[in-house]
Structure 1
Amino acid sequence: MTSASEAPVKPVILLVDDAPENLFLISSLLKDSYRVKAATGGTRALEILGNSPDVGLILLDVMMPVMDGYQVLQAIKDNPLTRDIPVIFLTALGEGSDTAHGLSLGAVDYLSKPVDAPMLLQRVSQHLRRQSSAA
């Protein structure tokens, strides 16, 4: 039970996108209910995951330089310490084959950009609840 002096611990979300404006927009949507860690690329995201065992969900862009989202997801799934963290792809790619590919690699969901704020908040909440009930 949380005492009056302790605030409830907010779930941690790792947001990965190479566009600073997307990081700002999505962080702004999430910051009231979640602690948001942001990375501007796949390499940085993997560094954060290595140092942050408290990440509960990852929002991952697909189209990024150096490492695309599919490569980042593969690295996450290959690591026993991170493979169970749910990953939601956020992308401008809208083809069914893109969605199928992301889901086949282990993503739990796929949301299109531009982000629909109520949908994003609903899906984040839904996947975090699933994750906490599975733990």
Structure 2
Amino acid sequence: MEDQKKVLIIDDDNRNIFALTAVLKSKGYHCLSAIGGEEGLQLLEEQKDIAVVLMDMMMPGMDGYEAMAKMNEDPELKGIPVIAVTAQAMLGDRERCLNAGAVGYVSKPINVDTLTDLLVKYI
């Protein structure tokens, strides 16, 4: 069931979107992408079958923290699991992402096995 494996990648860097999409497609996932928080929220409203969101936390405009807060305010979106994907790997960053509502945390450069394990857990 491909719809059950639909992943939305929200990242302001097209290179990250390209790399994640290539890896995930090779593993059987269907990927959508947005280049910012606002666009990501719009796609979530339009595409009701997104199973998981991979959210870059540091983006211009609406960052991942703000986008997750908006998702948590919306009854239709708050149940969609968000995996934080970030270059921030400082002490406390993982906890900050999880406290903001993420179900998982992956730092860049992304360990594909770790990401795949999280996706399997939440899809």
Taking structure 1 as the reference length, the TM-score comes to 0.86
Match of 2:49 in 1: 54
- The answer to whether the aligner puts 1:23 opposite 2:7 as a matched pair is no
% identical equivalent positions: 33
Counterpart of 1:65 in structure 2 is 60
Q: Which residue of 1 aligns with 2:32?
A: 37
Tell me how large the CA RMSD over aligned residues is.
Answer: 1.0
Cα separation, 1, equivalents of 2:90 and 2:104: 14
CA-CA distance at 1:96 after TM superposition: 3.0
> Which of these two proteins has the greater Rg computed from alpha carbons?
1
2:83 matched to which residue of 1?
Answer: 88
- In structure 2, the gaps of 5 or more residues are none
TM-score by length of structure 2 reads 0.94
State the distance in 2 between where 1:65 and 1:117 align. Answer: 25
Letter aligned with residue 59 of structure 2: M
Gaps of 5+ in 1: 1-7, 129-135
**Partners in 1 of 2:120 and 2:21 — Cα distance?**
15
